[in-house]
Every structure is written in C-alpha cells, then in structure tokens.
Amino acid sequence: MSKKQHIVVVGNGMVGHHFVEQLSQSANAEQFEITVLSAEPRLAYDRVHLSEFFAGKSADDLAMTSMDLYQQWQVNFRINAKVDTIDRQGKTLTTQTGEVFSYDKLVLATGSYPFVPPIKGNDNPDCLVYRTIEDLQAISHCASKSKVGVVVGGGLLGLEAANALHHLGLQTHVVEFAPQLMAVQIDKPGGDILRQKIESLGVQVHTNRATTQIVAGDSCRHKLCFSDGEELETDLILFSAGIRPYDQLARQSELDVGERGGIVVNNQCQTSDENIYAIGECALWNNFIFGLVAPGNTMAKVAAEHLQGQSASFTGADMSTKLKLMGVDVGSIGDAHGKTPGSLTYRYEDQVNGVYKAMIVDSEQKKLLGAVLIGDTSEYDSLLQYMLNGIDLPAQPESLILPSNSDKPLLGADALPDTATICSCHNVTKADVITAIDEGAVTLDFIKSCTKASTGCGGCVALLKDVSSNELSCRGVEVKKDICEHFPYSRRELFDLIKIEKITNFNDLMAAHGSGLGCDICKPTAASIFASVWNEYILDKKHQPLQDTNDTFLANMQKDGTYSVVPRIPGGEITPDKLIVIGEVAKQYNLYTKITGGQRIDLFGARKEELPEIWRRLVDAGFETGHAYGKSVRTVKSCVGSTWCRFGVQDSVSMALFIEDRYKGIRSPHKLKFAVSGCTRECAEAQSKDIGVIATENGWNLYVCGNGGMKPRHADLFATDLDDETLIKYIDRVLMFYIETADRLQRTSVWMNNMEGGLEYLQDVVINDSLGLATYLEQHMDSIVGTYQCEWKTTLEDPKALERFKPFVNSDKPDSNIQFVEERGQIRPARPEEKTIAIVVQD
C-alpha cells in the first residue's frame, strides 16, 4: 500500500474549509492525510453572515463544520494552533506552543487581517476591529457601556460594521477618507444615493475626512480629530478601513510576496515553492488580491484538483456582488466605473425613492460591461448573466433598467449558456446543475446537496430554482409543489379546493384529497387556510388538533416552557387605566415586563395554568388578544401624527387604529406587521413593514411587501396620495391576494419577488383589476372582518377549552422544572447551573 501524502492546511476560514471539503470528499481522498491548523479557538464559521451574530445567531449557528464532522472525514485538526515558523528545507512547521508538524504539501489559507490606519491613539482599549467572532463579542461588550460609535471606513465591511453598531443601539457615524461610500464598487452618483439612504436610517456619514489622532473626549470617552480641524466625539471606535493579506509566514520563509503584500501564486495556486500553495485573501494572483469568498473557493478547488494530478487553473474571477447594507439593496457588476475605453453609460435616477441604476455598455451598445444598482437590485441576476456570458443586449438596452416597463426583456433560463455561473460562491455553472439532474437529482433540495449551489450567501436561490425547474420541465419531469407527502397539492391549490368545495374541516379535506393521517406541515397549513376562508374559532373541536403549540395555548411558548402574554394595544395607544391593569397583572403573577418594538407590552413567564386567569383579568379590563402567537396580523405601529407632532400632516394614530381594528386576527401564510407614519420623517418605520402607510400633504402613500427579521427588505412604493377609502381598498386587495396565493410560511416580500412581473404585476392586479378579482377580494376581506372574535374571550367562555390549560394531564401540581432568578429587578429563566434540584418525598 502506497504511503499517504501528508497535506497540512494553515488556516480554517471559509476558504480553508472549502479546500478541506474538496480534497477530503474527492474520489482520491484515501491518498491524502489532511491536518488543519486553526489559529482561532474554533473551526470554520461563516464570515459572510457574521453580522447576524448581532441579530441573535450564536457561534454554533454560524459554524460551517464541527469536530465530529472532521473526525468523520478523517481530518486531523488543532484549534488555537497559530503557526510561528515554516522550515521549507525540512518541510516542517512549528506552532507558537512548540508543536511541530511535517508536510509533503502545505496549503496557506491564512486569509487577511483588518487594516488599522497609523493614527495616534489607535491602540486605545475602545478601538476595535470587525473580523472574528471574538471581535464581535468585544464590540458587544464595549457597546453595552457606550452611547456613540464611529466606524472608520466607508467600504462594504465598514457599512456592515455600522449596521452592527446601529442595531446595538448606538448613535452611529461612518468616517470615510474618500469622497464617497463604497468607492471601489460603485460610481459617484450611486455613492450619493447610497449615502442619502443610509443617512435616512439614522447613521451620519462623514466623507473626505482624514483622522489625524484620537484623544480624550469631553462628552464621550474619546474624540476623533480630523485634518480639516473638525472633531467628532465617540465612545467606541471601530476600524474597518480595508484588509491586508496575512502573509507573515510567507515573508519569514522567504516565499515571493508582492510589493504591497500578498503571497505570489501561479495559475495552479502554487507559491514560489512548488510544495506550498496559497489560496484566498492571502494569495496574490496576477498582482491582484481577491477579497471575496467566491474567488477564494475557486482557488481552493483548483489547488485540491492540482494536488490530485488534474490540470486545473485559476484564471481570475468576477468581482460582481449583490448585498443588502443596512436594509439598502446594492449591486455592483463588472466595470462599474465605466473605465473601459469607448464605453457608454445609461443612467436612471429616482431621488424621491432612493433608486439609482447605471448600465455601462460597449461603444456599439451590444454588450454589457458593468452596472450599478442602488435601492433596487431586481435586475441584478439578468444583468450579471448578460455581462458574464457576453449575451447581446436588446435593441433598447435602457429597457433593462427602466421601471414599470412591461416590455422589459426577461433573460430566461433557456437563454443562458451551459457555461453561465449560477452560484458564484461555489462556482456552480448551469452545466453543473444539468449534470446533477442527469445523475438523478429531481428536486431543488437534491440539486443543492449535489452541487452546493445556494448554500453560500444564498443570493442565487431564485436563479437556481428557475434553471432547475426549467430543465426538469423540458425533460417532462413534473416539478411538484406538493405541500407534503399527504397532499399532492401546493398551498394555493389546497386553498382553492377548500374554498370552492366549501370544506370546513381536516377530516373531510383528507378524505377528499389526501392520504394518510397528516403531519406537522399539512395540519397547521390547513388550519391556517380554514381560518383565512371561514374564520371559525381555532380551538373548536374540529380545528384544535391541527394547531401548533402556540396556537393551541393562544400564547408564545418561551425557552423555559413558560408563555408570554401580549394584549393588543392598537397603534400603541393605551389609557392610564389599562396601563395600571397590565402593571397589576404583571405584579400579581410576577411576570417579566418588556415594551416591544411594535408598541405593545409583553408579559413573560406565565405558567400554562395561569394563562386563563391572567387573560380573564385583561379581557374584563377591555383588552383583546394581540395574536402574537399566530401567523396573522400582529401590530400596526404608529407615530403621534398631526395631533401632537409639529411635522405631522395627517392623523396617523386614527388611521393606525382603524387599520388594526379592521385586520386584527386575520390568519395568513406568515406573520404580518403594519405601520403608519404621519409624515415623511417616518418615525413609525413603515418602509420596513408588510404594509406601510406614510402621510403626505395630499393623502397617504402605500408601501407593500417589506419586512424585518433575518433578511430585512425595504417595502416598495405601491401607490401615492391615496384618500382613506382607496387606501383601505388597496390594502384589502393586496392582503387577500397574498393570503390566497402565497406558499406556506412565505413572507410577503418573497411572495411578490417570486411572482412573474413582481411589483408591476401586483399593481396591475390591485390597482387596474387586470384579473377581474377586485370585487371578490374585497368581499372576501369583508366576510373575514365581519366574523372577528377575540380568541381568548371565546376560550374563557368555554369550560371544555379551559381544561387543556392544566399543567399535567394527571396532576394539578405546577411544573417544578420552571424556575426563575431575579435580574435588574425582574425575573428571568434560571440557567441550568442556577436551578435547584426538586426532591420528591414519597410517603
């Protein structure tokens, strides 16, 4: 048996991990013994989504691998193993702890480090960088004792860092040396629009500013002093002024490095030592450092294939990118600055809505060379394919970026050549997708698992779905949208069957159109449809078995097994008497109390058996359920409007109360949130909601299909200057069209984006009544509104329904595992180490 070749990989970032995956999972894996040395205290994690750490994701959530998986792959690994020296002659390397490893081939995947400008005072304890999970933990700690934060650097990473500080509640500033934001990726007009949109979100931008020193502040802990004499006070300083290749090991071992840094590599990613490879952000290819994950993954694949004797080459990579910065869509494609000789530019700018689009074409207007998209990236995928594949532009190229153009040429899956890149993160082409289908992959999930497409940043999922569905359909394969194994129908088809055939319960639905007993997918989906169509009491005997835990107990279950109580507070308006009742209830039942972002009050820590009496007290005081537990209309946030505010132009509170009263309790495929702002200052944040209403001098502007959450999306302007009646009519139609046609658990934003024609199509259906559904949609809404009931009030009047709130079926004793400790004057769930062991004494 031949001796295995020992491969040592220094660095376990995303690119280093991708190399390990490529080699260890290859057909020739048994030829290699792989050792991974990670300088960090953990194995590879997803840096692309690092900012989601501040949205509640843990280090485990971001992990790309685990010790168990590497052991399964027979990969040796060390964490906290920073390499100190390389002995090229002896083919060994030594870590800072003195551990020595030998290699046959060495792969340097050391990545990059944040550049900290040489500013006097930059070593202050409150001067931080944004690169690792440990960095983020330090930022969170510092932010907890800060009020103001400054990010030095207005590039892509700088704006992500600013978003993090903004979400941590700091007054946030961005300081950029260049005259615009994201100067590398977008042109000057695009930079101006981006700045306008970011400042409208509450982040102040300072461009053309060079920081000379950092000194003690007066009102804050520190002060930035600029070369123009201006100053900026801050508590926290976050440097995000670019990256530098981590090439110290290469320099120490006398490998060739570039004049400005980076380990020089050839097309096979080999350094000046043929036994040493370099991949990712530490590698310098053709005098260029690639600072994105996708090119690094391509390098990793090339190096892995070359080690196996294959003729792979790295020949550069496209640096186009699409992202969302602080909720602002930004796209940059190819030659975004029009530097190509003879190039021409088409521009579209909408300053009112913060949308900017530019297309750079060749001198004959036949080929796309580059593009910039700010505020709306809906054309990104098509434009990228035009550029990457040299596809001829239509006769009127400007039609590709002009809004509301029904004749806009759509670049379908058929038009893409087999070489078209579908997923840039993993370099998956259309041909790779076709090959996966050839080999038996007949579902989208199967294709994802075979090709890895859309498992990186996830930005290509829509294009992947189009290409795979088109290819399967062309082969005569039915592209199923079955909701689950028990029903050969999509949610939309089930909705139509239930409504048209007047089916009112799950047993009849199963008997007529399903098979088996049902599952935790089809049962809650059917329950939601029954509620949307017939609006009966959800805990009725025929509906109760279909509900999930939250709907069963009309409350959100929390991590410790207790429940939250959320009474409806329409528009955030509440009387002192009702406030007193909430306080008395919270005090009586020792509940943790918190004001939510939707202008309501959450009461946490209620035991299941306490819920009926808590709600009896609240219902008697005039409260209704807030439906915080359901996939339904949740909140309608509002400012104080023209009644109190000197800037308000309409009575936003009255409108918010009317809207919440009209749509309260309506069941839908996903939760729904609304807001009404009394002027364009937008204090109610209506543009981040499923339905947003903003007052104008002439009426109301309606925004639709926005959302917060893990993937925030700004709502789109749907119609302007509407009177009250027309506004409600349009909302009725949009909501009912969504409820009837959306997929299971599909947000309004995804629903609209997945419709052919998107916003323009929805406007045509709702405003122009292109499908002739307007009257039907309004009548359906009226029927649901007319049958509203407070589910808790109904439950309190039903002794049978109250029986399910016993803590145990066979005992009235409370659950002893639920324990609390006091923190900041209120309760919180006890951690495992804080719980006292319950001792049961038996007679």
| Two tokens, residue 418 | 């087999």
Query: ∠ CA(812), CA(814), CA(817), 5° rounding?
Result: 145
Looking at domain 5-113+245-307, its CATH superfamily turns out to be: FAD/NAD(P)-binding domain (3.50.50.60)
Residue segments in the chain with a per-residue pLDDT below the cut of 50 = 1, 405-409, 837-843
User: Strand 112-114 relative to strand 243-245: parallel, antiparallel, unpaired?
Assistant: antiparallel
The per-residue pLDDT for 818 is 81
Q: How many whole angstroms separate alpha carbon 736 and alpha carbon 780?
A: 7
All CATH 3.50.50.60 domain ranges in the chain, comma separated? 5-113+245-307, 127-241
pLDDT in tens, 737-787: 999 999 888 899 889 987 878 899 999 999 999 999 999 999 999 999 999
683 annotated among ligand-binding-site residues: yes
Single-letter code of the amino acid located at 497: L
Q: How many whole angstroms separate alpha carbon 279 and alpha carbon 110?
A: 8
430-445 burial: b if 16+ Cβ within 10 Å, else e: bebbbebbeeebeebe
User: Strand 368-374 relative to strand 355-361: parallel, antiparallel, unpaired?
Assistant: antiparallel
| Two tokens, residue 398 | 């400007």
pLDDT in tens, 504-519: 999 999 999 998 888 8
645 annotated among ligand-binding-site residues: yes
Architecture of domain 553-629+806-843: 2-Layer Sandwich (3.30)
Query: ∠ CA(415), CA(421), CA(425), 5° rounding?
Result: 150
Q: How many whole angstroms separate alpha carbon 164 and alpha carbon 170?
A: 9
Residue among 331, 546, 301 nearest 432 (CA): 301
CATH topology of domain 631-787: Sulfite Reductase Hemoprotein; domain 1 (3.30.413)
460 annotated among ligand-binding-site residues: no
**Confidence (pTM):** 0.57
All CATH 3.30.413.10 domain ranges in the chain, comma separated? 631-787
| Two tokens, residue 721 | 């200057």
CATH hierarchy code of domain 127-241 = 3.50.50.60
Task: Give, in order, the Cα–Cα distances in Å from 378 to each of 369, 622, 716, 799.
Answer: 18, 46, 12, 53
Indicate the angle between helix axes 758-766 and 724-741, nearest 10 degrees: 120
| Two tokens, residue 620 | 């008697």
